[in-house]
Structures are given as C-alpha cells and as structure tokens.
Amino acid sequence: MFTLDQFPLHFVRDSLEPYISATAIDYHYDKHLGGYISNLNTLIKGTEFENASLEYIVKNSDGKIFNNAAQIFNHVFFFNGLKNSGDGIPTEIESAFKDFKSEFKTAALSVFGSGWVWLIDDDGTLKIITTANADSPIKHGQKPLMTLDVWEHAYYLDYQNRRGDFCDAFLDHLVNWEFVTGNSKK
Ligand code: MN
C-alpha cells in the first residue's frame, strides 16, 4: 500500500505563485498523484508487486501497473525538484550544453501529447531527453537529474495551452537546483 503521505511536498503550496498556483498544486498533487496511488494500490493487490518498492515496480512491471507506478515516480521526482528560487542554472549544467534553456524548452515543445522532459546523466554525459506518457528514464537504466511534467494537466489551470510559458517559468523560477546537482552525485 502506498499513501500520499509517503511523498510529502517539500514546499508550501502557495510558495510557487505566481508561477504555479496553489490551486494547480492542489489538483496536481492531491487529485492526479493521489489518483495514481489509489489506482496502483488496487492493481497490485494480490500480485507479486503487493509489497515491492516503487522503483522495483517501475523497473519490473508493464501495462497498467507500470503506467501508474511510473507516474507516481515521475510526479514525486518532479515535485521534489520544485522550489521558488530563481537561482541561476549551475555552471556544470550550463557548460554541458550550447544553450541549455533553449534546448530544454525545444524538447518540452516537441512532446506530442502527454509526456515528460528530463535532464539525465547518461554514463557521465548530461543529456536532455523526452519520454511519452508515463515512461521514465529509470525504466531504461538512465539516471534522472530533473524533470518537467508536460502533460496538459500540469499547466492548463495556470497557462491554458501555453506550454512554452510554463516551461520558461519552470526554468527561470522553479527549479530546485540543489536537488538537481544532488542527484548527479548519487
Ligand atoms: Mn502531472
């Protein structure tokens, strides 16, 4: 059994305003993440995954169980990487790309339908990748450092169809860079 309490937010709900509203966090965290947790609990009952860790389930399941487990992992990773900081992009990330911000935004806009944009550490090389729907780098043995949720539900309340503006706000104001650089050392 997984519960929402296992994955607490590390910021106060209105602290990301004006870039993400408290209302959007209420829906995204309580309803969307909460929904995936509730679905997964129902799906794993009586299966080999009933007492498994979330990462184990993501790596070893497929179909509906994978979709819900991976969405939990991806959302927790996304929420853990948010902070209203406005700190600049760390040099070690900036220097690994020609134009990190523009490349990340181009990737975000390239996702057709629902998905995620990631900065990953691929055997020592920093790369920007996208995944579709619930797919997650940990399914493919890759190490995620940061992610942006580009499912419509992530931004529609605050930005309607303007995914690019949401991505700009994320990169300029909402990345917890300590979380990102901490992940690269794991
Ligand atoms: Mn989401």
115 C-alpha to center of ligand 1: Å? 9
pLDDT of the residue at 86: 80
152 C-alpha to center of ligand 1: Å? 8
89 C-alpha to center of ligand 1: Å? 23
The answer to whether 75 and 101 have CB atoms below 8 angstroms apart is no
69 pLDDT above the threshold of 90: yes
pLDDT tens digit string along 73-108? 999 999 999 999 888 899 999 999 999 999 999 999
pLDDT tens digit string along 14-29? 999 999 999 999 999 9
φ and ψ at 121, to 5 degrees? -105, 105
- Residue ranges of E strands in the chain: 115-122, 125-132, 143-149
Strand partners, 146: 119
pLDDT of the residue at 68: 98
Strand partners, 118: 129, 147
pLDDT tens digit string along 32-43? 999 999 999 999
Q: How far apart are CA 54 and CA 35, in angstroms?
A: 15
102 C-alpha to center of ligand 1: Å? 22
What pLDDT band is residue 52 in, cutting at 50, 70 and 90? very high
153 C-alpha to center of ligand 1: Å? 6
32 C-alpha to center of ligand 1: Å? 6
What pLDDT band is residue 152 in, cutting at 50, 70 and 90? very high
83 C-alpha to center of ligand 1: Å? 16
Work out the mean pLDDT of the chain and round it to a whole number: 97
φ and ψ at 72, to 5 degrees? -65, -50
Q: How far apart are CA 92 and CA 13, in angstroms?
A: 30
The answer to whether 116 and 50 have CB atoms below 8 angstroms apart is no
What is the mean predicted confidence (pLDDT) over 170-175?
97
Query: For the whole prediction, is pTM greater than 0.95?
Result: yes
180 C-alpha to center of ligand 1: Å? 19
pLDDT tens digit string along 113-147? 999 999 999 989 999 999 999 999 999 999 999 99
46 C-alpha to center of ligand 1: Å? 27
Q: Which residues are in the CB-under-5-Å shell of ion ligand 1?
A: 149, 151, 154
Q: Of the candidates 80, 71, 3, 58, which has an alpha carbon nearest to the alpha carbon of residue 32?
A: 71
149 C-alpha to center of ligand 1: Å? 6
Strand partners, 175: 82
pLDDT of the residue at 185: 82
